[in-house]
Each structure stands twice: as structure tokens, then as C-alpha cells.
Copies of this chain bind each other. A is one copy, B any other.
Amino acid sequence: MPATDTVHISLPDNRHYEIRIGSGLLGEPASWQDLPKASAAVIVSNETVAPLYAQALRQRLLAVYARVDLVVLPDGEQHKGWDSLNRICDHLLGEALDRKTVLFALGGGVIGDMTGFAAAIYMRGVPFVQVPTTLLAQVDSSVGGKTAINHPLGKNMLGAFYQPERVIADLDTLDTLPERELRAGLAEVIKYGPIADAGFLCWIEDNLDALLARDKVALAYAVRRSCEIKADVVGQDEREQGLRAILNFGHTFGHAIEAGLGYGEWLHGEAVAGGMVLAADLSRRMGLMPDSFVDRLRALIARAGLPVQPPRLGAERYLQLMRVDKKAEAGAIRFVLIESLGKAGLHSVPDALIVETLTAHGAA
């Protein structure tokens, strides 16, 4: 059993918080100590995760807070909208909970993003803690303070930069993760290699079987290294003025896939996987990377059981969906492209080249 790892996130204005990674953290009293004082805590979870872990977490939190409520939302990306956000706010207001109340996001990326956004806006801000229970949330979405809900016209379009007090990534919660979601989480792990760490890409290639077999030592390292890379990027650029955008490798195409198919049809990680195949191809067409890189990345994504074939939405629909991407400027779509192994940058790409890539992959 690996020991607990701690990754520190340092932000401007002397703000900072810890990501704790390890087995058994949910039941560990230390995980819940030294958080902001409050008379009440609210666990926000979903119908899938709540039955598994909410009561255990509630028991632990009752040692710290006089009152611990539970709000259970429907599960799935298609529920990451106004309605669910409102259910959290309605509960907080209906129970007259004050602005010291601490929210705990117990679940995957959807729960984390929505709970964080609710925390950001309730009475103009209450503290919150991320308790990610999916690989995707542990390696990516729970870290870095991006919160949001979806809009029918675009993914994560309404939200806030709002940092948690702490992230508690209990690796044991991955034991109950469905196979498909484990694989989806691996997409975000794989992402960190090409954009920031060529050595990590090799490590993933070498340890993919162990990761798929849920080997705890391998998972612990994958989560820690992913969080380290993310912490480093976010520490330099919290509000995505520049560098932080590289974390969105594969996401411009990916968000279009999610919105185009209807949220929840493909998991976020699956859409990012398909998006990385397209973005790698675009990097090659822009003359930045060789064919061999595209083949290598596609092979790894395929080995992880993730889609390498993006859906056929039609080129026009892809372009339309990507023009509302948050990185777009004055109608020009911008992509995170790989410039060399372990280094990425933001590039405007001519529509014609985007269409070429989509066509070559049967997506146009």
C-alpha cells in the first residue's frame, strides 16, 4: 500500500492548498482536520457515488461539524446545468445555511465542477473541498479551481475560477469505478505526457497494463505525477491568461464531440481521447510533429481502450461548435498543439487544415 502523497498548489496572493493522494484517506480523521470552522457542512454527490461513500464521509465530518447535510444529484454530464446547480443553491437557502458553510464535492468531475461553482456563487463564496472519486477527477478536474456548468451551446461555458480548500484523492474509491470510467480517466493521464513530460509518456506506455489492472502503486504514481504537472502549470497561470491553456490538449475537438453528440453520450475522457488523436494530426499537418508521434499517441490511446475514431458530426458542425470554444478569439479557432514531445502551445489554425484533419479521420 503506497503512503500518502501530498502535492502543493501555490497561487498568487499567498493562497495555497494541498492535494492529498493515498489509500484509505476518506476514513482518515486527518483528512478532515484544520478545515475552515463552520457550524454546517454539505456533501454534494450523485446517485451513483452517494450510496457507496456518502455515509462514511458524513460520519467522519460529524466529528468536525455539528451538522452535515447531503444533497444527491442525478449522475451524468447531461445533468451538469442550471437545474442541478439550482438544486444545490435551493438546499443551501432552504436550510438557511450561512456563508461559513463548507461544501464537499464527493464524486467525479461533474460533481466537482458544479459543487465548486455553487460554492463560488452562494452568498458570493463559501469554502469547499474536493473529494474526487473518479480517476479523471483525481488527475485533472478536482485540481486547479476551474468550476463550471454546461450550456446547451457549449461545454463549461458558465463558471468561475474558484479554488478548493483541499483535495482528498482516496485511491480506494477507484475500486468501485466502472471500467469505462477508469479508461476515460486515463485519457487525461495520457494528456500530460505530450504537453509537459516526455518521460511520463514513456512511463504510461510501460505501465498501462498495471493501470488498467488498478494496481495501486501504479495508480498512485499516475495521480501524483498528473497533479504535479497540473499544479506547476496552474501555479504559473491560475486564470488561463496563457500557459494554462495547454492543459486543454485534445479538448477543443473533445468539447465539440461532447456537445455535438449530446452531453453524456461519450464520456468527457473519451471525447478528449478522440480529440487528442485529431489534435496530434493537426500538429503534424502544421509541420510541428512527425508522423511517428501521431502513430505513437494513437496506439497508446487505442491500447487504453479509448476511441481513436471521432464521431462523424460533419465538418461544418465541428467548426460551428469550436467557434464558441473559450480559446477562440474574434471567430478564429485556436488549438493546443504539440510543438515537441513534452511541449505544447496555442495555435490559430486555418479552417481548411481543420477540415483536412476531420476528413482524414472520417469525422467530416
Contact = CB atoms under 8 A, between A and B. Distances in A.
A121 interface: yes
A34 interface: no
A194 B240 CA distance: 43
Given A124-B146, A239-B125, A324 B158 contact: no
A154 B121 CA distance: 14
Interface string A100-136: 1000000000000000000011111100000000000
A81 to B, nearest CB: 11
Interface of A: 12-13, 39, 82, 86, 89-90, 93-94, 96, 98-100, 120-125, 146, 148, 151, 153-154, 157-161, 239-240, 323-324, 326, 328-331
Contact of A13 (B12, B93, B94, B158): B12
Kindly report how many copies of this chain are found in the complex they form together: 2
Given A151-B89, A328-B98, A159 B12 contact: no
The residue among A94, A98, A124, A146 with the most chain B CB atoms within 10 A of its own CB is A124
B161 A148 contact: no
A86 B85 CA distance: 13
B93 A124 contact: no
A96 B324 contact: yes
Contact of A121 (B146, B160, B239): B160
Given A93-B324, A324-B93, A121 B158 contact: yes
The residue among A123, A146, A324, A331 with the most chain B CB atoms within 10 A of its own CB is A123
27 contacts: A12-B13, A13-B13, A39-B331, A82-B82, A82-B86, A89-B157, A89-B158, A90-B151, A90-B153, A93-B324, A96-B323, A96-B328, A96-B331, A98-B328, A98-B331, A100-B329, A121-B121, A121-B158, A121-B159, A121-B160, A124-B146, A124-B148, A124-B159, A124-B160, A124-B161, A125-B239, A160-B160
